[in-house]
Amino acid sequence: MVRILIVDDDKAIREMGRMMFEYAGYEVVEAKNGMEALRILRTSSEQFIVLLDLLMPTMNGLDMLQCVLAEPTLSKRHGYVLVTASRDISMFMSERINKTLTFALMSKPFEMDAILALVGDIVQRIVPLETAVAYC
């Protein structure tokens, strides 16, 4: 089963996301910055959909994605959603990120139905077909 990793320095956002995704049937793990998230991804054998805030202390979302791109295990196993309040989210769509990662962008604020649908789409792309049937 794919788990959700919420990476955000704002505890209230992590808690709200946890409640929303657990209500939808997902198991959720939280990290307060990119460094903590990388530790989780590197030590887990499970697949994650990583909801990654753009602006965080210690390691921001783009810096974390650069580290992920350098590690094929992390770039192939997991799906990533970069979440930002920036009006111009297209500036974060680098060609290398799009070609290498199962990746999407979501602008803040977002609606619950929209993020759940986006995560469901990413789950379908990263989970082998025989396992994906359980998410239909």
Tokens of 109: 């604020």
pTM here is: 0.84
Q: How many angstroms from the chain centroid is the CA of residue 103?
A: 8
3-state SS of 33-82?
A: CHHHHHHHHHHCCCCEEEEEECCCCCCCHHHHHHHHHCCHHHHHHCEEEE
Name the DSSP letter for residue 109: S
Q: Report the pLDDT value the prediction gives residue 132, as an integer from 0 to 100.
A: 40
Q: Which of 50, 57, 54, 49 is nearest to 32 (CA)?
A: 57
Is 3.40.50.2300 the CATH number for 3-135? yes
Relative orientation angle of helices 11-23 and 112-126, to the nearest 10 degrees: 70
Tokens of 37: 């998230």
Q: What is the DSSP string of 13-38?
A: HHHHHHHHHHHTT--EEEESSHHHHH
Q: Report the pLDDT value the prediction gives residue 96, as an integer from 0 to 100.
A: 52
The ranges assigned to domains in the chain are: 3-135
Burial of 114 (0-12, 13-18, 19+ CB in 10 A): exposed
Q: Report the pLDDT value the prediction gives residue 110, as an integer from 0 to 100.
A: 78
Q: Note the pLDDT tens digit of each residue in 27-75.
A: 999 999 999 999 999 999 999 999 999 888 889 888 898 899 899 889 8
Q: Note the pLDDT tens digit of each residue in 77-131.
A: 999 998 887 666 555 555 556 566 777 777 777 788 989 999 999 998 887 643 4
Which one has a higher pLDDT value, 126 or 22?
Answer: 22
Q: Report the pLDDT value the prediction gives residue 22, as an integer from 0 to 100.
A: 96
Looking from the CA of 50 toward its CB, the CA atoms found within 13 Å total 33
